[in-house]
Amino acid sequence: MPKILIVDDEQVIRSGCRQILEMNGYQAEEAADGREGLRKLAAEEYDVVLTDILMPEMDGMQLLEEASKLGKDVVFIVITGYATLESAINAGRRGAFDYLPKPFNADELIAKVERALEHRNNLIELRRLREERDRNLLECSNERARTLTIINSMSEGVVAVNRKRQIVLINPAAAKLLRFDDKHVIGMLIEDTIQNPELREIICQSLENVAKTQSFKRLEFTTSWNRTLEAGITPISDEKGEAIGAVAVLSDVTEEKKIEKIKSDFVSYVAHELKAPLGAIEGYLNLIIEGITAGNPEKEREMILKSRDRARGLIALINDLLDLSRIDRKRALKEMGPVDLKDLLQETLDFYRLRAENKSLRLGFAAEADLPPIRGNREDLSRLFANLISNAIKYTPDGGEVKVDLRRTNDHVCVSVSDTGIGISEEAQKYIFDEFYRAPNALAKKITGTGLGLAIAKKIAEDHHGNIRVESRENAGSTFRVFLPVLDRYAAPLANSGHA
Amino acid sequence: MAKRVLLVDDDADFLEIHKTILESGGYEVDTAATGQEALEKIRSRRYDLLIADLIMEELDAGFSLVYAVREEEKTRDLPILMLTSAEERTGFRFQLDKDKEWMKVDDFAAKPLSPAELLKRAAKLTENR
């Protein structure tokens, strides 16, 4: 039920109005002057105020002024004895909605009040809508800030252009990738900012005939400063399918490209290394099958033996490749624990003793006492030293010597494997740890090998935060040294472990 | 008069296999394991055919040998059969119509070749010698 306040110093008018209003289903209250009216207005909610202008204490104009400070959606109707336009305009200026000239009758009063109530409802609705809009705007600006923050923190570059080919948005990553200052390019044309012609061209294409080509375009290009970038360009279209812009997402794929190249080189290398022995085996088999060597059983047997050698070489190569990929697996998956190197080296040497004896090689081993164990993967370390020791035996002519030495140097344990073999030229030492590299003197002497043994050794050493070095002169033997870090928590000799 | 072939390959087994096949076909065969060794042999005597592996000790050894042979007055017309087991490593398709001109060889073949195929190609390349 709407509540009406009647402010008038004339009691007759106050009670007359109240009766009319109550008869028409309104709730009405009275105030004898502006001050009392203001008090009531401040304390309670009213829908409409009927106020006289001329009153003691506080007149209607003052009341209007003071009431407007309360910030309430109350609608004022000014009761005025001077039915002049001037006082109505004055009251209107002060925020009154309407005026009621005296004398007035019941119908006129009710009509005015109803209009005022309608206006009040509109006011309330308007306020609600305004608040809603403000709330939406707030959300909107929050949303925008949030989106911008996200875009600006992306590692991919984002550039948006409008239909006129002006840059309208660019995040720091894109500015960095394209090497320009993001503060100054907004609004500039792409032909004045983007250096790469292919990227410009593809953005322009995306801006044309979008309806026909609603498509995502992909581009890989190399910048003038030699980075390979990948760009994904998507047209932005309005509901009619017209282009209103385009957005490009950029990322630097230089490193991936490098890795891809290494990988494909490796694969083709491996393919070749696998095909050669198989081709040789097939060649020998063809000779035997076609009867070309039929008159010569000696030669045929020789060929079969050679085929077997090639098959063995192939198996060794495949084992090495499997080793490589096993070592490349995440180190996290590997069990690392304390490894007693002395024990490990002894085991490895025992394995190769027979091979050394067959070549009349002396095999020596010296180890410092009380060495701390190191932290590592036993299987991998075993492979590392097996590769070094078997190489030493393989590249040392009959009657020579291979020595393994284990000692501590500061924070490292050093394992050295030295031989009196054919040695490695200074030139070849640069490549000796590369995959598939074989030293020329080894090839000339027809010593078989996969070219992977030392690459595997190096990988394992580095996996253990260690390193491997070679010292050698051609025809004067080689020494390979492996340094592995000693970990403090294993610094106590094994015998004392558990008595910390 | 038997025709003389020089085989060049850094894989001893392929030298052995191809030598055996060619000898069974009535050719006289010399072998060389490096491009350098092959050049010395070509300069010191006359051959009717050179069969060279593309990849010897390093990627372009086969190419450089062929170019060297073509540059010398005496050996300019020597027929050359280029063998390879590494088509995928070189990026060339080893198609005569596409690569013959700049590779300056008379024929290509991928390893391994069947004995019959090798003899057929050798016969074709040496028929006018």
Chain A residues in contact with B34 by the CB 8 A cut-off are none
Q: What is the DSSP code string of A134-184?
A: HHHHHHHHHHHHHHHHHHHT-SSEEEEEETTSBEEEE-HHHHHHTT--HHH
From the list A268, A310, A443, the residue facing B89 with the nearest CB is A268
From the list A283, A292, A306, the residue facing B112 with the nearest CB is A283
Q: Does the distance separating the beta carbons of A280 and B11 come in below 8 Å?
A: yes
Q: Does the distance separating the beta carbons of A303 and B12 come in below 8 Å?
A: no
Q: Residue A492 pLDDT > 90, yes or no?
A: no
Which residue of A lies nearest to B56 if distances are taken between CA atoms? A443
- When scoring A264, A270, A275 by the number of chain B Cβ atoms within 10 A, the one with the most, hence best to mutate, is A275
- What local confidence, expressed as pLDDT, does residue A179 receive? 87
Answer for the pair A465, A485: CB distance below 8 angstroms, yes or no.
yes
**% residues pLDDT > 90 (chain A):** 42
Q: Does the distance separating the beta carbons of B57 and A440 come in below 8 Å?
A: yes
Is B55 at the interface with chain A, CB within 8 A? yes
Q: Give the range among A246-255, A378-387, B93-102 with minimum mean pLDDT.
A: B93-102
Chain A residues in contact with B13 by the CB 8 A cut-off are 280, 283-284, 306, 310
Answer for the pair A171, A147: CB distance below 8 angstroms, yes or no.
no
- Averaged pLDDT of chain B: 84
Give the confidence band of A12 by pLDDT, cuts at 50, 70, 90. confident
Chain B residues in contact with A271 by the CB 8 A cut-off are 86, 88-89
- What local confidence, expressed as pLDDT, does residue A491 receive? 46
Q: Give the range among A56-70, A456-470, B113-127 with minimum mean pLDDT.
A: A56-70
Which residue of A lies nearest to B110 if distances are taken between CA atoms? A279
Q: Does the distance separating the beta carbons of A286 and B114 come in below 8 Å?
A: yes
Which residue of A lies nearest to B113 if distances are taken between CA atoms? A283
Q: Give the range among A183-187, A251-255, B34-38 with minimum mean pLDDT.
A: A183-187
Instruction: Provide the token pair at A2.
Output: 């709407």
Q: Residue A250 pLDDT > 90, yes or no?
A: yes
* pLDDT tens per residue across span A40-49: 999 998 999 9
Chain A residues in contact with B17 by the CB 8 A cut-off are 280, 283-284, 286-287
**H/E element holding A358?**
helix A341-358
- What local confidence, expressed as pLDDT, does residue A214 receive? 61
Give the C-alpha separation, A434 to A177, whole Å: 33
Q: How far is B73 from chain A (nearest CA, A)?
A: 31
Chain B residues in contact with A269 by the CB 8 A cut-off are 89
* pLDDT tens per residue across span A345-357: 999 999 999 999 9
Q: Residue A437 pLDDT > 60, yes or no?
A: yes
Place of tokens 């198989």: A278
Instruction: Provide the token pair at A355.
Output: 């091979």
Average of per-residue pLDDT across B46-56 = 87
Q: Does the distance separating the beta carbons of A287 and B21 come in below 8 Å?
A: yes
**% residues pLDDT > 70 (chain A):** 94
Q: Give the range among A209-213, A464-468, B11-15, B51-55 with minimum mean pLDDT.
A: A209-213
- What local confidence, expressed as pLDDT, does residue A498 receive? 40
Q: How far is A333 from chain B (nearest CA, A)?
A: 34
> Whole-prediction pTM value?
0.57
Which residue of B lies nearest to A282 if distances are taken between CA atoms? B112
Q: How far is B95 from chain A (nearest CA, A)?
A: 19
Q: Does the distance separating the beta carbons of A310 and B20 come in below 8 Å?
A: no
Chain A residues in contact with B57 by the CB 8 A cut-off are 440, 443
The closest alpha carbon to A73, from A3, A172, A147, belongs to A3
Q: Which of residues 76-95 of B touch A (CB under 8 A)?
A: 85-86, 88-89
- Averaged pLDDT of chain A: 87
- What local confidence, expressed as pLDDT, does residue B78 receive? 93
Average of per-residue pLDDT across A266-288 = 88
From the list B12, B21, B55, the residue facing A446 with the nearest CB is B12
Average of per-residue pLDDT across B103-116 = 85
Average of per-residue pLDDT across B47-73 = 81
* pLDDT tens per residue across span A310-361: 999 999 889 888 888 877 765 556 778 889 999 999 999 999 999 999 999 9
Q: Residue A6 pLDDT > 90, yes or no?
A: yes
Q: Does the distance separating the beta carbons of B55 and A286 come in below 8 Å?
A: no
- What local confidence, expressed as pLDDT, does residue B41 receive? 94
| Alpha-carbon distances, residue A262 vs A124, A255, A494, B58, B93 (angstroms) | 72, 11, 42, 18, 21
Q: At what angle do helices A60-70 and A34-43 cross, to 10 degrees?
A: 20
* pLDDT tens per residue across span A104-151: 888 889 999 999 999 888 888 888 888 888 888 778 778 888 888 889
Kindly give, in sequence order, each residue whose CB lies less than 8 Å from that of residue A211, ignoring residues fewer than 6 positions away: A237, A240, A241, A242
